[in-house]
Structure 1
Amino acid sequence: MCLEGMTDQIDIEERLSHLIRTVEDLSDVVARQERDIDALTRRMRMLGERLAEAEAEADSGVTIGNERPPHY
């Protein structure tokens, strides 16, 4: 094998090594983002439920005229 062929092989191996590392890094990023999205989805669902409960409670109270709620 000539010197140029070995240089090309080393270059290819270096590039392959770099690409493997990049793919591993990207895989880690995607896995972290998936966990973050799942957590945010659960939080949004919980906040939606809380909002629906708060709206239901607000709709159930009846205010007549200028009456203040009992907590004033």
Structure 2
Amino acid sequence: MDRLEEKIAHLERSVDDLSEIVTRQADDIATLRRRVEMLMQREAEREADQGSHVFTGQEKPPHY
């Protein structure tokens, strides 16, 4: 019986540790998503201001 109680205590500790890790990772993912969204919006605004140009390979790049 003592052995089972000890195993349960270890398992509870592991579950608590993993729960903490998952919560921290969820916060990190939310932060990264916000940053990516902000960067994408910033890049879209920059492209709109400068006009976007897609290089198709048929033309010489601008540095020639």
TM interval, shorter chain, is 0.7 to 0.9
Aligned CA RMSD, in angstroms, stands at 1.2
Question: How many residues matched?
Answer: 52
Query: How many percent identity over aligned positions?
Result: 48
Instruction: Give the equivalent residue in structure 1 for 2:46.
Output: 54
CA distance in 1, matches of 2:24, 2:51: 40
CA distance in 2, matches of 1:51, 1:31: 30
Is 1:33 the counterpart of 2:18? The answer is no
Gaps of 5+ in 2: 53-64
- Give how far 1:27 is off: 0.3
Instruction: Please give the TM-score of this superposition, normalised by the length of structure 2.
Output: 0.78
Q: Which has the higher contact order (CA 8 A, sep 6+)?
A: 2
Which structure's CA Rg is the greater one? 1
Instruction: Please give the TM-score of this superposition, normalised by the length of structure 1.
Output: 0.70
Gaps of 5+ in 1: 1-8, 61-72
CA offsets, 1:38-69, max 9 Å, x none?
Answer: 00000000000000001011118xxxxxxxxx
CA distance in 1, matches of 2:34, 2:28: 10
CA distance in 2, matches of 1:55, 1:19: 53
